[in-house]
Amino acid sequence: MYEFYFSTDFINRFQEFLSSKEYKNIPNYSKTEYWEYHADRIEIQTCSNKVTISGKSEFYIPQRIGMKSKVKDRITKSISNPSKLISFIKRKISIQDSQIKLLNYFDAFERVMNNDPIADPVLSPFRINFRNLKGKTGIISSISEMREKYFANHKYELTPSMVRSYYYYNIFRGYTNLMNVRKVLEIGAGNGNLSSLIYSSLENCTIVIVDLPEALANSIIFISDLFPDAKILMPHEDKTNDFDYYDFVFFTPKQIGIIEDNSIDLAINISSFQEMTHRQIGEYFELIQRCCKNNSYFFSSNRVEKIPCAGDCWEKETSEPANRFSEYPWNPANEVIIYETCRLARLVQLDNVFNRLELVRK
């Protein structure tokens, strides 16, 4: 559960969004059974100056500086279930039951950026050269540097999710003209960690976020708390103004037709195509090809294969066919810059992830 405090005006705007048709009405195919389950478990309460929000999936909001440790809190809650407590402690001290030893995100980031053999630094034309990347301007080359330059260190702890965001940020800094980007589209931004990092690094940039309404409620709150002076446009609000006026613009899946043709410099999808229906994935690929400028960039990082499940029961498959990265409707006209197994993900989890960066060709 997270608590945020805002002005009465902002609370009123947010409450209007929660009761709007934009929040309540989206295409049925926009949600898999997995997301139907998790959307029902998102709880949002508002009062005169406070928003309280809780949920499970896509809730990666960092812990606030000075707040009670989540680790201690989880251990306390697990005391009533000894088997879960033992499993949790084993993960924290890197004792695993299998012979495969996974790293945490902090150690994995260091290994990848330093070309450690465990990070599989063998080069090919479509793989990231982290040795060269590390020496480029603006790259965050170590966890110590990340802690020093962490854009939210005045308010939030550095978390594994934020470390992963910096990993992707390094790729953008090294392989795109990121510092000249003026409009970013992120599809499925979760609570907005990566979008927030990009926004904090660029000047005169507009971030367009498309997501399910329940997930948008999460990112709107987190981003507004992190950047209280940012100009944001919620999904239910008037769209007649030039979007360049805003810092953040939020859309539901049903509103993607509003996004202008040839307006986006960088499109991003991280770990969310894998959770979608095939029809929704197809609509988003059409959106990317339509709204991205010629010679803009499209980056995707998703599971090599994801078998759709029902709710949080991984053993119960659904009727939706498997999502396979290689079977996404990639546009053959685009130029592939990077296409590799994610070096960071392979050190922290058992399921392989692909990274792909394209130059959009019109």
pLDDT in tens, 41-64: 889 999 889 999 987 765 678 888
Judge contact between 188 and 216, C-beta under 8 A.
Answer: no
Stronger pLDDT, 28 or 226, i.e. the higher one: 226
With a cut of 60, say whether residue 71 has pLDDT above it: no
Joined together, the tokens standing for residue 274 give 């894998």
Q: What is the pLDDT of residues 150-200, one digit of tens each?
A: 999 999 999 999 999 999 999 999 999 999 999 999 999 999 999 999 999
pLDDT of residue 95: 56
Judge contact between 190 and 215, C-beta under 8 A.
Answer: yes
pLDDT of residue 186: 98
Mean pLDDT of the chain: 89
pLDDT of residue 257: 96
pLDDT of residue 86: 58
Closest CA to 216 of 63, 51, 14: 14
Q: What is the pLDDT of residues 91-146, one digit of tens each?
A: 555 555 567 789 999 999 999 999 999 998 877 888 999 999 998 999 999 999 99
Give percent above pLDDT 90 in the chain: 73
Stronger pLDDT, 41 or 300, i.e. the higher one: 300
Stronger pLDDT, 100 or 280, i.e. the higher one: 280
Joined together, the tokens standing for residue 139 give 């790259």
Element (DSSP H or E) covering residue 264: strand 264-270
For the CA atoms of 204, 201, 193, 320, the dihedral, rounded to the nearest 10 degrees, stands at 70
- 83 pLDDT band, cuts 50/70/90, is low
Judge contact between 211 and 171, C-beta under 8 A.
Answer: no
pLDDT of residue 94: 55
With a cut of 80, say whether residue 76 has pLDDT above it: no
Q: How long is the chain?
A: 362
- 349 pLDDT band, cuts 50/70/90, is very high
pLDDT of residue 82: 59
Q: What is the pLDDT of residues 89-101, one digit of tens each?
A: 655 555 555 677 8
pLDDT of residue 87: 56
pTM more than 0.75: yes
Residue 34: helix, strand or coil by DSSP? helix
- 345 pLDDT band, cuts 50/70/90, is very high
Domains of the chain: 2-62+103-359 (3.40.50.150)
With a cut of 80, say whether residue 69 has pLDDT above it: no
Crossing angle for the helix pair 160-175 and 193-201, to the nearest 10 degrees: 50
